Amino acid sequence: EAGVTQSPTHLIKTRGQQATLRCSPISGHTSVYWYQQALGLGLQFLLWYDEGEERNRGNFPPRFSGRQFPNYSSELNVNALELEDSALYLCASTRIREGSSYNSPLHFGNGTRLTVT
Amino acid sequence: TQLLEQSPQFLSIQEGENLTVYCNSSSVFSSLQWYRQEPGEGPVLLVTVVTGGEVKKLKRLTFQFGDARKDSSLHITAAQPGDTGLYLCAGTNAGGTSYGKLTFGQGTILTVHP
């Protein structure tokens, strides 16, 4: 079974530009999560998509947005890049089962390292 | 806002030593997961604990969920250099604004020296 794949692996942008990050979930997984990991430490929740709909978002400004496509792949877009947006962006997928208490484990990709100069 | 505090933030020990990492919150979680992350890779799930007081063992790793489901601990016996990595706890709560969101602690960076 292929794991979660993210592209590109590294992305270098200048302040004010836009960045687009892509994620392909594990086959059969309908939920995609995006997390920001700065300084190699804890993960900050960005967005959750399930069945093509945005279900929840974290405390990030509106210039962080995304979408999920019919094949369940996802894009994260960051507009008007700022220096502090430099981080590792992790995508994770899972399959939410009806009636579950949302304890499904997340399967993470290896991330996109975004550097803003 | 639900927060998870991990301690210690950094841990540097010699091979063969024991260690414990703590994950604490003032909030109740319906479940808690522990992940391990190595450089250049995404986090990988180690265990999920669901029931208050639950203890799970994974070889030399022992995970415990507090009775009130507000805290958890990870104990490693006879640590090995291969245990080196970032250990993350993460809590799930299905209700309110936390719906579907996994809240992560800030992580513990463990270095085991041969």
Taking only the tens place, the pLDDT of each residue in B73-93 is 999 999 999 999 999 999 887
In whole angstroms, give the CA distance from residue A111 to residue A88: 6
Residues 6+ apart with CB under 8 A from B96: none
Residue B30's pLDDT band, with cuts at 50, 70 and 90, is confident
Residue B47 has pLDDT above 60, yes or no: yes
Chains A, B: CB contacts under 8 A, how many?
Answer: 73
In whole angstroms, give the CA distance from residue B78 to residue B5: 25
Torsion, Cα B64 B65 B71 B73, to 10 degrees, reads 10
Residue B98 has pLDDT above 90, yes or no: no
Residue B68's pLDDT band, with cuts at 50, 70 and 90, is very high
Sort out which chain B residues have CB atoms less than 8 A from A53's CB and list them: none
Query: What is the chain B residue with the closest CA to A49?
Result: B100
Query: What is the chain A residue with the closest CA to B102?
Result: A45
Residue B102's pLDDT band, with cuts at 50, 70 and 90, is confident
Cβ within 8 Å, pair B45-A111: no
Q: Locate B81 and state its tokens.
A: 């250099």
Residue B2 has pLDDT above 70, yes or no: no
At residue B56, the 3 state secondary structure works out as: strand
Mean pLDDT computed over A55-69: 95
How are beta strands B10-14 and B108-113 bridged, if at all?
parallel
Residue B100's pLDDT band, with cuts at 50, 70 and 90, is low
Q: Locate A111 and state its tokens.
A: 């991330």
Give the residue among A32, A13, A31, A30 at the shortest CA–CA distance from A76: A32
- Counting residues of chain A whose pLDDT is more than 70, the rounded percentage is 91
The confidence score (pLDDT) of residue B86 equals 95
Residue B71 has pLDDT above 80, yes or no: yes
B100 interfacial to chain A (CB closer than 8 Å): yes
Residues 6+ apart with CB under 8 A from B107: A41, A42, B6, B9, B37, B86, B87, B88
Longest dimension (CA), chain B: 46
Mean pLDDT computed over B60-76: 96
Cβ within 8 Å, pair B42-A103: no
Cβ within 8 Å, pair B88-A42: yes
Residue type, B104: F
The confidence score (pLDDT) of residue A18 equals 98
Query: What is the chain B residue with the closest CA to A106?
Result: B45
| Closest CA–CA distance from residue A103 to any residue of chain B (Å) | 6
Q: What is the mean pLDDT of chain B?
A: 91
Instruction: Classify the phi-psi angles of A64: left when phi > 0, otherwise alpha if psi is within -120 to 50, otherwise beta.
Output: beta
B96 interfacial to chain A (CB closer than 8 Å): no
| Closest CA–CA distance from residue B53 to any residue of chain A (Å) | 17
